[in-house]
Structure 1
Amino acid sequence: MTEAAPLAPVAARQRLHALDVLRGIALLGIALMNVEYFGRPLADVGNGVDPSQTGLDHALSWLIYVFVQGKFWILFSLLFGMGFAVMGARTQAAGGGFTRLYVRRSLGLLVIGLVHALAIWAGDILVTYAIGALLLLLFRDASPRRQGQWGALLYGAPVLGLLMMAAVMLALQSSGLSSGDHVDLAQEAREQAARAAEIAAYSDGTWWQATVVRARYLLTHIPEMLVFECFAVGIFLIGAWLLRSGAIAQPSDHAALYRRLRHLALPVGVVLALLSAAVTVHLDWKEQGARAMLAMALMLAASPLLSLGYLALVVAALQTAFGARLLAPLAPLGRMALSNYLLQSLVGTWLFYGHGLGLWGSVPRRWQVAGVVAVFVLQVLLSRIWLAHFRHGPVEWLWRAWTYRQVPPMRAR
């Protein structure tokens, strides 16, 4: 009987090229969304497009809100779920030991996320991913089809609930049974104070003052983070189903699935996103709570459909010679996605925060977008140069050393 190979980080030649390309694309979408909140309070997340913007700045914000915001974290989450499935398959082939290894990997990600959230930027998503990764263990033994069904339920049920709640609120308002949205003055005062503290600490404060505000933000938003876990775990499971079904490794064998994603899911997602934007892109939760909830629920329904459509378009492009050549430079970026994600936060906070260049609130949206594109191109080039000399990104190397309890080779052969 052949002895199972010991578990170790995946070699470059064993990686799925499509996943690395998709991670690189997801990084661009995430940066386009995050850059606004390097120079705007995180208290405004969930309020939609800044109503003070006009002209080109408003148009860019509208396009990013409708077609990017909320779509690329989902794409990244699909890929995270695929990574869960890949690790499960590899540990099974190696003779077991998945749970212990996976828990250690998730705890390592949790530490990285906490450092990011506390020391760099409060808009971190890695802590949410790490907790969601542990919750994925509850579904480890489910079949691929069952994982996909659970994923659709975990994401879709809350969205349906929000749609129903918005419909009830609108019906009550139209019938005159509800006089409008009631404002809790004490809660509003607390929110305004927290927003003012963010602005003061990030725009003019020291690194330590910003860290104190980041820690407060993390603690006060734990309930929202736990609610968000339902959506995240749902998307993780859909990603695991896609990987385990063979649709990623053998796309030509699943041509019908990809046609449905391109010709059905993507157009329906566009229609729902445009409907949401038609309701409102300025989510005023105090004065127009019912409309804001309806717009948010429609956008939540649109986002996974758009993300899956984007994924299908990229996979289709990779099946062509031209598309493969065009997208190939993104693969090194995706191979070290964690390092590049953290680097985006470091650059963004250094540019905008008071303990850096202090550009908070002074950069128009058009220059934010231009800056993201410039930094992204630089990251593509630097990632290629780095991986020509090293096997892993620096943070990936540390994470893998912790996960496998051995120091992986760093220098490229």
Structure 2
Amino acid sequence: MTSAANTRLVQVDALRGFALLGILSVNIWAFADPYYASTTSNPAYAGALDHLIRLLIALLFETKFYLLFSFLFGYSFTLQMAAAERAEAAFVPRMVRRQVALLALGLVHGALLYYGEILSTYALLGLVLLAARNLSPARAGRWAIGLVVVTCSMWMVLGLLQGLEGTWIGAINHDAAQKLTAFSGSALQTLHFHSQQLARTLPALWILQGPSALAMFLFGYAAGRQQWLASPWAWDKRVWQLLLWTAPLGLLGAFGYALTAAYAPGGGLETFAFGIGQLTAPLLTITYGVLMLVLFNSTVGTRLCALLAPLGKMALSNYLMQSAVLGLLFTGYGAGWINRIEPLLLLPMVAAIFLLQMGLSAYWLHRHPYGPLEWLLRAVTLLAWPSWRRTG
């Protein structure tokens, strides 16, 4: 493999590792706050600082990092196509097996650890991308833009309809009380809550996240076909011009959504703002990704890239590890700290978990070529046992 190809793969892995930080920063709220994604604000957040932190999380993290992860899924799809071609193997059976295995892992993850999981959505949407594998990059980009515009317009219309019916702000949601009771109780209560909520939550997640994730799959596929990440320094001259309009527009849409999520959740206002936020979220995702690529190609950022790459290389294992750690901290599987940790303290907890994963990933990959779940997924994909330990 050439040096340029190695650079590309390391940067793709490092971007994926960076995306894991954003996903952890969002998912910790689903474990720590029973009112997260509810129709009402947490009554325990009495201070302005609590609401400000909630606003900043919605502004900078929510609906941004799963889009980056989705983009990288689409990009990696093209790398898998190339790998199958080099091996002179049929790509479609490989990919179908991979997606079925991912679906099974997602459903088990959702039933046991986190009912809000996204792996099953990726598994099904990956089959859609497989069916569209012969699209030209230009057509894939047009389909992605159309999907985002149409979907977000529907959300905005739905928000207006909710408002016309008099539901601008949500009513009391009793699921928060059930979640608080379950996570504060025994491991069996937590397991029952996850398995019960999974069937209710998955269809909602497919509707909320599916269209945007598929659009980013297509964007990533188009980027992979054109090898945009093979040498990102080639378009450095235009990068700042790009950021001058992606960053302000992305932040503007995100700010409207963040205000409603923090202060007026659950009604037509949040639904309308969600539509605007989803429309501009890809722009902020682009901003994050481009800034990280520029950083990776600097003298200081080369070291950061090397630190993040092991996390991204075993992203599946790390994603499930995050759910397991958060479950031990906040649910009946362990300490049961749900609704006991102040919002400000959640930020250093995210940093601590992420640094722990960074060290464990580097340690593991020093001895193994793949993460444990990546190894399993590769075995199913190839119908062969990959090497478990590094040799030589």
The answer to whether the superposition gives a TM-score over 0.5 is: yes
- Map 1:247-326 to 2 at 5 A: 247-255=228-236, 258-277=239-258, 281-285=262-266, 289-326=267-304
- Aligned-pair distance for 1:164? 3.9
Q: Residue in 2 aligned with 1:388?
A: 366
Note the C-alpha offset of 1:358.
Answer: 1.7
User: 2:76 maps to what in 1?
Assistant: 83
How many Å separate the matches in 2 of 1:21 and 1:78?
14
> What is the 5 A alignment of 1:202-281?
202-206=183-187, 208-227=188-207, 228-255=209-236, 258-277=239-258, 281=262
User: Which of 148, 166, 178 pairs up with 1:197?
Assistant: 178
Paired-residue identity, % = 33
Change beyond 3 A, Cα 1:279–1:338: closer
Q: Deviations over 1:262-311 (max 9, x none)?
A: 222122101222244456633333xxx33222221222122111011100
| CA distance in structure 1 between the aligned counterparts of 2:241 and 2:73, rounded to whole angstroms | 23
- Report the counterpart of residue 94 of structure 1 in structure 2: 87
Secondary structure of residue in 1 paired with 2:230: coil
Check conservation: 2:156, 2:271, Cα contact below 8 A.
yes
| Matched-pair contact (CA < 8 Å) for 1:261–1:312 | no
Match of 2:138 among 145, 149, 156: 145
2:37 maps to: 45
The reply to whether residue 65 of structure 1 matches residue 58 of structure 2 is: yes
Residue number among 181, 185, 192 corresponding to 2:167 in the alignment: 181
Equivalents in 2 of 1:138, 1:242: separation in Å?
18
Q: Equivalent residue for 1:9?
A: none
Taking structure 2 as the reference length, the TM-score comes to 0.90
Counterpart-to-counterpart distance in 2, 1:48 and 1:259: 40
In 1, the alpha carbon distance for the partners of 2:329 and 2:162 equals 42
Q: CA deviation at 1:79?
A: 0.8
Comparing 305-314 and 246-255, the one that deviates more: 246-255
How many aligned residue pairs are there?
385
Inter-CA distance 183–372: structure 2 relative to 1 (3 Å threshold)? closer
Amino acid at match of 1:331: A
Q: 1:398 and 2:376 equivalent?
A: yes
Alignment partner of 2:325 out of 347, 351, 354: 347
Letter aligned with residue 212 of structure 1: H
CA contact (8 A) 2:379 2:385 kept: yes
Q: Which residue of 2 aligns with 1:3?
A: none
Q: Distance in 1 between matches of 2:306 and 2:148?
A: 32
Amino acid at match of 2:37: V
Residue 328 of structure 1 deviates from its aligned partner by 2.0
Q: Cα RMSD between the aligned structures?
A: 2.5
What is the aligned partner in structure 2 of residue 175 from structure 1?
Answer: none
- Matched residues in 2 for 1:47 and 1:17: separation? 41
Q: Pick the aligned partner of 1:18 from 11, 19, 44.
A: 11
SS of the residue corresponding to residue 262 of structure 2 reads: coil
How far apart, CA to CA, are the structure 1 residues paired with 2:245 and 2:237? 11
Per-residue CA deviations over 1:347-366 (Å, capped at 9, x if unaligned) read 10011112311212111111
SS of the counterpart of 1:16?
helix
| Residues 1:195 and 1:278: Cα distance change in structure 2 (over 3 Å) | closer
- Any conservation in 1 of the 2:159–2:268 contact (CA below 8 Å)? yes
Q: Work out the CA distance in 2 between the residues paired with 1:219 and 1:169.
A: 25
Q: Which residue of 2 aligns with 1:5?
A: none
What do residues 143-163 of structure 1 show as CA deviations (whole Å, max 9, x unaligned)?
111111112222221112223
Q: 1:167 to 1:255 in 2, by over 3 A?
A: farther
Letter in 2 for 1:199: L
Instruction: Output the CA distance in 1 between the equivalents of 2:91 and 2:40.
Output: 41
TM-score (norm 1): 0.86
> Is the alpha carbon distance of 1:119 and 1:373 closer, same or farther for their aligned partners in structure 2, counting shifts above 3 Å?
same
- Counterpart residue type for residue 97 of structure 2: R
Q: Quick one: structure 1 residues 49 and 18, their matched pair in 2 at CA, closer, same or farther if it must change by over 3 Å?
A: farther
Q: Which has the larger radius of gyration?
A: 1
Unmatched 5+ stretches in structure 2: none
Shift of 1:212: 2.3
